[in-house]
Structure 1
Amino acid sequence: MRTNSHNLWVLFFLFEVLIGRALAIRFRWPWQREGKLPIISINSKIGTIDQYIEKYDLLVKPGYQKDKDFRQKVEAALKKVAAPPQALNIYAVESSFLGCVAFEVATEQGSRDAISKVRNKFKNKLSKPVLVLSDPYAIDIYGDDIYESWEDAPWTIPESEAIPRSFSSGSDPHSGAAMWETSGDLGLDLGLSSPPPPRYLRLRDPNHQKENRRSPASAFNIDQVPVVADWYSGGLPEMRQISQPPGLYEDQVAEFGQLADAFWNYKEGGKGQVVYVLDNGLDHLHQELADVEFGDWIMAGYFPTDEKGGRRISPNQPTHATMVTSKVAGRTLGAAREAKIIPVLFDSGRTDIGNSAFIAIIDGFAKIYDHIRRVNSRSNCIVNVSLILTPEHWQDLFLWNRVGFGDPREIMEHYRKAMYYILEELNLLRNAILVLSAGNEDGTEIDGFPANFGGDSKFSKRTVVVGGTDLDGHNYYQEAHFVRVWAPAANLSLPCDPSGPGFGERFMSRRRDLCEPRFGTSFAAPMVTGVLATMLSAGVPIDKVISHMYSLAYPRVKGGRKVLYNGISTSQWHW
Structure 2
Amino acid sequence: MKVNKIQLHATLAQLAFLSKVDKVFGSNIHAPTNNVGTWEKGSSSYFLMMHPTNKLSEEEERDFIRELTTKMWPYLLPPKSQALYRIKSERLGLLGIVLDIVNNVNSFGEMNAVCNGPLRKKFTALLRSQDFPSGGKKPPQSFMTSEANYEEDPPSPPTLKSNRKLKRSMWKRVDEGQDPNIEKQSGLTEDLLRLSWPPGVAWDYIERHKVFWNWKGAGQGTVIFVVDSGCDSRNPEFRSTKFRDWIFAGPSPLEEPRDDYYGPHDPDKAASRKFHGTGVTSKAVGLSTGVAQNAEVVIVNVLTGGTRGSQPGAGVWYMNLDALVKMHEYIEKHKLSGRCVINISTAHADLRNHRATTNLLWYAALTKQVLDSIVDRLDCYLIVAAGNERPKTPITSYPQKLIPRMNQDRVALVGAHDASLRNLFQIHSDVQLSALGDRIPLAKGYSMADEPKFEQQNSIPILHLDSPAGIASAEPSRSVREAAPIVAGLVANLISIGKENPLRYLKAVSKTPPDADSPRIVWNGIYPDQWPITLRPPQPAPPKEERKNEKKDN
TM-score scaled by length of structure 1:
0.69
Distance 1:572 1:533, change over 3 A: same
Aligned residue in 2 for 1:315? 261
What is the DSSP-based 3-state SS (H/G/I as helix, E as strand, rest coil) of the residue aligned with 2:292? coil
Give the distance between the partners of 2:422 and 2:76, measured in 1 at CA: 52
Question: Which one of 444, 450, 467 corresponds to residue 415 of structure 2?
Answer: 467
Mapped pair 1:520 → 2:479: yes
Give the distance between the partners of 1:240 and 1:129, measured in 2 at CA: 50
Question: Which one of 124, 129, 134 corresponds to residue 132 of structure 1?
Answer: 129
Q: Superposed, which structure 2 residues align to 1:19-34 within 5 Å?
A: none
Give the distance between the partners of 2:529 and 2:484, measured in 1 at CA: 28
Identity %: 22
Aligned residue in 2 for 1:295? 244
Aligned residue in 2 for 1:226? 181
Distance 1:222 1:58, change over 3 A: farther
Question: Which one of 532, 537, 546 corresponds to residue 496 of structure 2?
Answer: 537
Give the distance between the partners of 2:210 and 2:437, measured in 1 at CA: 20
Give the distance between the partners of 1:105 and 1:303, measured in 2 at CA: 12
Which deviations, in whole Å up to 9, do the C-alpha atoms of 1:195-232 show, x marking residues without a partner?
Answer: xxxxxxxxxxxx967xxxx8983255488443222232
Mapped pair 1:72 → 2:62: yes
Q: Contact 2:130–2:311 at 8 Å: present in 1 too?
A: no
Distance 1:124 1:220, change over 3 A: farther
Give the distance between the partners of 1:50 and 1:529, measured in 2 at CA: 38
What is the DSSP-based 3-state SS (H/G/I as helix, E as strand, rest coil) of the residue aligned with 1:106? strand
Q: Contact 1:490–1:519 at 8 Å: present in 2 too?
A: yes
Aligned residue in 1 for 2:116? 120
Mapped pair 1:103 → 2:73: no
Q: Contact 1:493–1:508 at 8 Å: present in 2 too?
A: no
What is the DSSP-based 3-state SS (H/G/I as helix, E as strand, rest coil) of the residue aligned with 1:382? strand
Q: Which amino acid aligns with 1:129?
A: L
Which deviations, in whole Å up to 9, do the C-alpha atoms of 1:547-570 show, x marking residues without a partner?
Answer: 110111103546554111111122
Give the distance between the partners of 1:447 and 1:467, measured in 2 at CA: 15
Q: Contact 2:414–2:483 at 8 Å: present in 1 too?
A: yes
Mapped pair 1:92 → 2:40: no
Which deviations, in whole Å up to 9, do the C-alpha atoms of 1:286-341 show, x marking residues without a partner?
Answer: 111111101121111121218xxx43131336521111111111001111111010
Number of residue pairs matched? 428
What CA RMSD, in Å, does the superposition of the two structures yield over aligned residues?
2.8
What is the DSSP-based 3-state SS (H/G/I as helix, E as strand, rest coil) of the residue aligned with 1:338? coil
The worse-fitting range, judged by mean Cα deviation, of 318-327 and 330-339 is 318-327
Give the distance between the partners of 2:88 and 2:124, measured in 1 at CA: 16
Shift of 1:73: 3.5
Give the distance between the partners of 1:552 and 1:379, measured in 2 at CA: 22
Shift of 1:239: 1.3
Which deviations, in whole Å up to 9, do the C-alpha atoms of 1:121-142 show, x marking residues without a partner?
Answer: 32122123111149xxx9xxxx
Shift of 1:434: 1.1
Shift of 1:70: 3.7
What is the DSSP-based 3-state SS (H/G/I as helix, E as strand, rest coil) of the residue aligned with 2:38? coil
Q: Contact 1:226–1:266 at 8 Å: present in 2 too?
A: yes
Q: Which amino acid aligns with 1:237?
A: E
Which deviations, in whole Å up to 9, do the C-alpha atoms of 1:137-178 show, x marking residues without a partner?
Answer: x9xxxxxxxxxxxxxxxxxxxxxxxxxxxxxxxxxxxxxxxx
Q: Which amino acid aligns with 1:423?
A: L
Shift of 1:47: 5.2
Shift of 1:414: 2.3
Shift of 1:109: 1.0
Stretches of structure 1 lacking an aligned partner (at least 5 in a row): 1-43, 139-206, 399-406, 500-505
Give the distance between the partners of 2:376 and 2:367, measured in 1 at CA: 15
Stretches of structure 2 lacking an aligned partner (at least 5 in a row): 1-33, 133-158, 174-178, 264-273, 448-453, 464-474, 536-554
What is the DSSP-based 3-state SS (H/G/I as helix, E as strand, rest coil) of the residue aligned with 1:480? coil
Q: Superposed, which structure 2 residues align to 1:165-180 within 5 Å?
A: none
Q: Contact 1:453–1:459 at 8 Å: present in 2 too?
A: no
Q: Which amino acid aligns with 2:430?
A: F
Distance 1:262 1:353, change over 3 A: farther
Give the distance between the partners of 1:222 and 1:461, measured in 2 at CA: 27
Give the distance between the partners of 2:438 and 2:236, measured in 1 at CA: 23
Shift of 1:419: 0.5
Q: Superposed, which structure 2 residues align to 1:405-416 within 5 Å?
A: 408-416=356-364
Shift of 1:51: 2.4
Distance 1:342 1:384, change over 3 A: same
Q: Contact 1:225–1:266 at 8 Å: present in 2 too?
A: no
Aligned residue in 2 for 1:177? none
Q: Contact 1:215–1:571 at 8 Å: present in 2 too?
A: no
Give the distance between the partners of 2:172 and 2:46, measured in 1 at CA: 52
Aligned residue in 2 for 1:450? 399
Shift of 1:67: 3.0
Question: Which one of 367, 370, 380 corresponds to residue 422 of structure 1?
Answer: 370
Aligned residue in 2 for 1:178? none
Q: Contact 1:496–1:513 at 8 Å: present in 2 too?
A: yes
Shift of 1:65: 3.2
Shift of 1:511: 4.2
Q: Which amino acid aligns with 1:117?
A: A
Distance 1:522 1:571, change over 3 A: same
Question: Which one of 468, 490, 498 corresponds to residue 438 of structure 2?
Answer: 490
TM-score scaled by length of structure 2:
0.71
Q: Superposed, which structure 2 residues align to 1:433-448 within 5 Å?
A: 433-443=381-391, 444-448=393-397
